[in-house]
């Protein structure tokens, strides 16, 4: 009788243990990007599949059918547990994620993968002690390809043309950048540019990449693209998970996900570089004229934008960050 009881208890324990080992944690990923955007189809979806594989099916990330919050609210959404995983564009929350905005300072840019790696390394060295990600687990930081200025008609060749123009741009650094040139600024998330671009309310738009003009259906209204060369800018993003959800995962699963995040995740942005090349070719083939800013225009723009770097360094200082050293380090990483 006792032997049968022990054997039965052991069987139940084994079944319970097996059930625990196979328990599945489902995480909800919400994003404002369309699922056809390369950051989703080429970067996030493969990463989510790799997370499932690395955790042997114990952690599965599912995508919400629509964004559960507007672009500026993605981080709040994760902190509140409305979604478990999201991408926060730092440009639309400039006061909260100010350190990451160094990628938006006009200057030298690199590939998306190189800038992403450089930003993550800079964060680790200079920004990590800041408490701005409270309530979330920062899995990685990454940077989109170099942004350009797009024109609804012929692209500008002088700073005076910028001064008399109406320009759509994202908030924060980009809004101040173009605001230094004209009072005709229409600021908002790039995903909402279509409303003002398609109706011809603006003369041009900035703070956006070549692939974005197709993902956000801006190409039909676009006649030209202006490359700003050494005054390039790029948008940065944070990959976030709800802190409570992160802590609820087993140590083994957290370790598995960590190995796919951080610097390892930034390497995946090579897919965005491929998408950028493809979009530029598509633009040229589709009749969108690509031109480079002339030396005189670049010189005028450099003078107009000079205050942005000083402003960023000063604000970083209020957070206990050596802004000059951080910016120098970030740019040195791009040369590697």
SS3 151: strand
Q: What is the pTM of this model?
A: 0.92
| pLDDT of 19 strictly over 90 | no
DSSP state letter for 294: P
Mean pLDDT across 253-257: 98
CB-based contact 109:115 (threshold 8 Å): yes
Q: Is the pLDDT of residue 7 over 70?
A: no
Q: Which two tokens stand for residue 156?
A: 């500008």
Q: Which residue has the higher pLDDT, 6 or 141?
A: 141
What's the pLDDT score for residue 335? 86
Quote the CA–CA distance of 172 and 290 in Å, as a whole number. 26
Whether residue 14 is predicted with pLDDT greater than 60 in this model: the reply is: no
Q: Is the pLDDT reported for residue 259 higher than 60? A: yes
CATH of 22-144+235-275, picked from 3.40.50.920, 3.40.50.150, 3.40.190.170, 3.30.1490.190, is 3.40.190.170
Q: What pLDDT is recorded for position 23?
A: 67
Cross-sheet strand order for the sheet of 59-63? 59-63, 25-30, 85-89, 236-242, 136-143
Among 57, 4, 23, 39, CA closest to 238: 39
The band of 22, judged by pLDDT with boundaries at 50, 70 and 90, is: low
Q: What is the mean pLDDT of the chain?
A: 93
Residue in 85, 72, 81, 144 with CA at minimum distance from that of residue 109: 144
Q: What value does the mean pLDDT take over residues 266-288?
A: 98
User: Token digits for 20?
Assistant: 């625990």
CATH topology identical between 22-144+235-275 and 148-233+289-334: yes
CA–centroid distance for 277 within its chain = 18
Ordered alpha helix ranges (H), the chain: 2-21, 38, 45-54, 74-79, 112-122, 159-163, 173-179, 194-197, 210-215, 243-248, 251-259, 262-266, 270-285, 295-318, 323-334
Of 218, 213, 226, the C-alpha closest to 196 is 218
Q: What is the mean pLDDT of residues 149-170?
A: 98
| Residue 34: predicted pLDDT | 95
Query: Domain boundaries in the chain?
Result: 22-144+235-275, 148-233+289-334
What integer pLDDT is reported at residue 12 of this predicted model?
39
Enter the DSSP assignment of 105.
S
Q: For the segment 107-129, what is each residue's pLDDT rounded down to a tens digit? A: 999 999 999 999 999 999 999 99
pLDDT value of residue 130: 85
Q: What would the pLDDT profile of 47-76 be if each residue is shown by its tens digit?
A: 999 999 999 999 999 999 999 999 999 999
Task: Dig out the tokens for 85 from the structure.
Answer: 């995983």
Architecture label for domain 148-233+289-334 = 3-Layer(aba) Sandwich (3.40)
- Matching residue, tokens 């599949």: 49
Sign of the Cα torsion 10, 13, 19, 23 reads: negative
Predicted local distance difference test score (pLDDT) of residue 8: 43
What element of type H or E holds 186? Answer: strand 184-187
> How far apart, in whole angstroms, are the C-alpha atoms of residue 326 and residue 286?
40
């Amino acid at each position: 009788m006792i032997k049968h009881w022990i054997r039965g208890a052991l069987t139940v324990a084994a079944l319970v243990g097996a059930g625990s080992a196979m328990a599945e944690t489902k995480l909800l990923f919400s994003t404002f990007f369309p699922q056809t955007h390369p950051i989703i189809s080429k970067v996030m979806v493969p990463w989510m599949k790799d997370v499932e594989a690395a955790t042997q099916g114990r952690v599965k990330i599912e995508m919400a059918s629509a964004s559960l919050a507007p672009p500026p609210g993605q981080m709040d959404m994760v902190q509140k547990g409305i979604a478990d995983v999201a991408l926060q564009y730092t440009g639309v929350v400039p006061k909260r994620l100010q350190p990451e905005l160094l990628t938006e300072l006009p200057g030298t840019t690199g590939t998306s993968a190189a800038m992403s790696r450089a930003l993550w390394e800079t964060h680790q060295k200079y920004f990590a002690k800041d408490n701005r990600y409270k309530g979330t687990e920062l899995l990685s930081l990454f940077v989109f390809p170099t942004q350009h200025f797009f024109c609804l008609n012929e692209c500008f060749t002088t700073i005076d043309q910028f001064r008399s123009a109406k320009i759509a741009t994202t908030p924060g650094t980009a809004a101040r950048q173009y605001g230094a040139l004209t009072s005709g600024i229409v600021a908002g998330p790039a995903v909402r540019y279509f409303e003002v671009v398609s109706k011809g309310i603006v003369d041009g738009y900035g703070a956006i990449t070549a692939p974005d003009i197709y993902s956000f259906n801006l190409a039909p209204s676009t006649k030209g693209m202006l490359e700003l060369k050494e005054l390039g800018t790029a948008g940065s993003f944070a990959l976030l998970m709800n802190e409570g959800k992160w802590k609820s995962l087993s140590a083994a699963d957290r370790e598995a996900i960590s190995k796919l995040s951080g610097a390892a995740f930034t390497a995946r942005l090579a897919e965005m570089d491929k998408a950028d090349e493809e979009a530029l070719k598509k633009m040229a083939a589709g009749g969108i004229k690509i031109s480079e800013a002339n030396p005189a225009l670049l010189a005028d723009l450099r003078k107009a934008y000079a205050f942005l770097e000083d402003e960023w360094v000063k604000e970083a200082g209020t957070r206990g960050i050596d802004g000059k050293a951080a910016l120098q380090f970030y740019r040195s990483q791009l040369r590697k």
